[in-house]
Amino acid sequence: MTRVLLAEDDASISEPLARALRREGYEVEVREDGPTALDAGMQGGVDLVVLDLGLPGMDGLEVCRRMRDGGPVPVIMLTARGDEDDRILGLEVGADDYVTKPFSPRELVLRVESVLRRSRPAGTGHRLAAAGLAVEPEARRATKKGAELALTLREFDLLAFFLRNPGRAYSREDLMREVWGWDFGDLSTVTVHVRRLRGKVEDDPARPRLIQTVWGVGYRFEPDEAVS
């Protein structure tokens, strides 16, 4: 059974949400403050965390950051409407996705399904490698010069996409569609993930050579120029 940890202090949100998830067959545990949510998340056996940003005791960002240190469990952040800073911060600390309040339980269930689908081995897809980077889609493992990279789900998907499509320029809209599967959305999501991915794969993230910015267009993965 798939276990979802739901960290939300507002019962008017968590109760209908827990009901909707249970109806879909998920096992749901609810926690109402940051420290107990973190404890539950770190105990293992949790397949996905739905994390409210504004939690008493310890905010969602800190909970997410600490959970990330413990392992790669997927996190969906619940953020307040229109607060772009919160959304970007959430992605910066490693959330895989976010949903903006108010949202319907159905909307969140769909998002949970989509994130879980991505977190599971695809069952297809062969090893991709270039410029000292390698991605094994089935194992969901990525390495740089043999050393394992700690990537979130979307960072992994983004790197795999770049490795599959070297030397071509993609706009942020293209990447959002191809990697996220979204036809519309906040393009800063892409910007943040590219920045985070550069921080992990570039020798010098301040002067990226692998994931290059194409001015006025977007980004291009250039494995050949990066070989030094």
- Judged by the rule CB under 5 A, the positions of this chain that interact with Ca ion are 9, 52, 54
Beta strand pairing call for 27-31 and 48-52: unpaired
Shortest distance, CB of residue 14 to Ca ion, whole angstroms? 9
Q: Write the CB contacts of 63 (distance below 8 Å, at least 6 apart in sequence).
A: 7, 34, 37, 38, 41, 51, 55
For Ca ion, give the closer residue by CB, 76 or 131: 76
- Distance linking the first and last C-alpha atoms of the chain: 47
Is the Cβ of residue 54 or residue 223 nearer to Ca ion in the bound state?
A: 54
User: H or E segment at 23?
Assistant: helix 11-23
**Which of 52/157 has CB closer to Ca ion?**
52
Q: How far is the CB of 125 from Ca ion (least distance, A)?
A: 38
Shortest spacing between CB 30 and Ca ion, in angstroms: 13
Q: What is the Cα–Cα distance from 97 to 90, expressed in whole angstroms? A: 9
How many Å apart are CA 28 and CA 25, to the nearest integer?
Answer: 9
Instruction: Report in angstroms how near the CB of residue 66 gets to Ca ion at its nearest.
Output: 18
Choice between 54 and 205, CB closer to Ca ion: 54
Q: Give the residue carrying structure tokens 């036809």.
A: 183
Beta carbons within 8 Å of 212's beta carbon, 6+ residues apart: 219, 220, 221, 222
Q: Which is nearer to Ca ion, 9 or 15 (CB)?
A: 9
Residue 52 beta carbon to Ca ion: minimum distance, rounded to whole angstroms: 4
Residue 213 DSSP SS3: strand
